[in-house]
């Protein structure tokens, strides 16, 4: 049950602003975090055997066909990193890409967590839509990171 009642127009305005603040705020905070937190071997980021080096995401979701159409916000802030396309085959650059894929993945997992707050000022059906939106917007970006990271790690290994 919602606690705050707003007219429809203001509900839409608040929803839009809230998502913009949530997404950019989490991205900004993540860019401020030290690189040491984004080790690809950490529990959250490591590749699982069932992922088959990221191939599962291509097999199930055809990630290669749509990943370039997704928005990227990594270079939005000073110190950020653009992941739109590989700019170099240099080992240091590839290692940075792997690190940033972990940062991006964490951002998108965390960005889904505030979705239940939308029930505070939205009717229940709209709150459900907000949760669906959070999942629909962020999960594809997580899948891209889970697909790319093992492939980039293989490139890093070959560069050694």
Q: What is the mean pLDDT of residues 51-75?
A: 92
Q: What's the predicted TM-score (pTM) here?
A: 0.92
For residue range 105-143, list pLDDT tens digits in order.
999 999 999 999 999 999 999 999 999 999 999 999 999
Is residue 54 a contact partner of residue 150, using CB atoms and an 8 Å limit? yes
Look at residue 39 in the predicted model and tell me its pLDDT.
97
For residue range 3-47, list pLDDT tens digits in order.
899 999 999 999 999 999 999 999 999 999 999 999 999 999 999
The string of DSSP codes covering 131-154 is: HHHHHHHHHHHHHHHHHHHHHHHH
Give domain limits for the chain: 8-159
Residue 83 has pLDDT above 80, yes or no: yes
Look at residue 143 in the predicted model and tell me its pLDDT.
98
């Amino acid at each position: 049950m919602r606690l705050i009642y707003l007219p429809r127009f203001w509900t839409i305005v608040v929803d839009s602003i809230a998502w913009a603040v949530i997404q950019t705020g989490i991205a900004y905070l993540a860019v401020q975090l030290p690189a040491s937190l984004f080790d690809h071997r950490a529990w959250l980021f490591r590749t699982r055997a069932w992922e088959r080096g990221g191939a599962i995401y291509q097999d199930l979701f055809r990630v290669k066909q749509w990943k370039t159409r997704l928005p990227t916000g990594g270079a939005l802030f000073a110190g950020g990193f653009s992941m739109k396309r590989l700019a170099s085959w240099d080992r240091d650059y590839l290692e940075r890409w792997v690190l940033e894929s972990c940062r991006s993945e964490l951002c998108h997992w965390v960005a889904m967590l505030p979705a239940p707050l939308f029930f505070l000022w939205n009717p229940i059906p709209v709150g459900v839509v907000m949760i669906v939106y959070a999942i629909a917007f962020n999960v594809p970006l997580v899948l891209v990171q889970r697909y790319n990271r093992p492939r980039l790690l293989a490139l890093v290994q070959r560069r050694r």
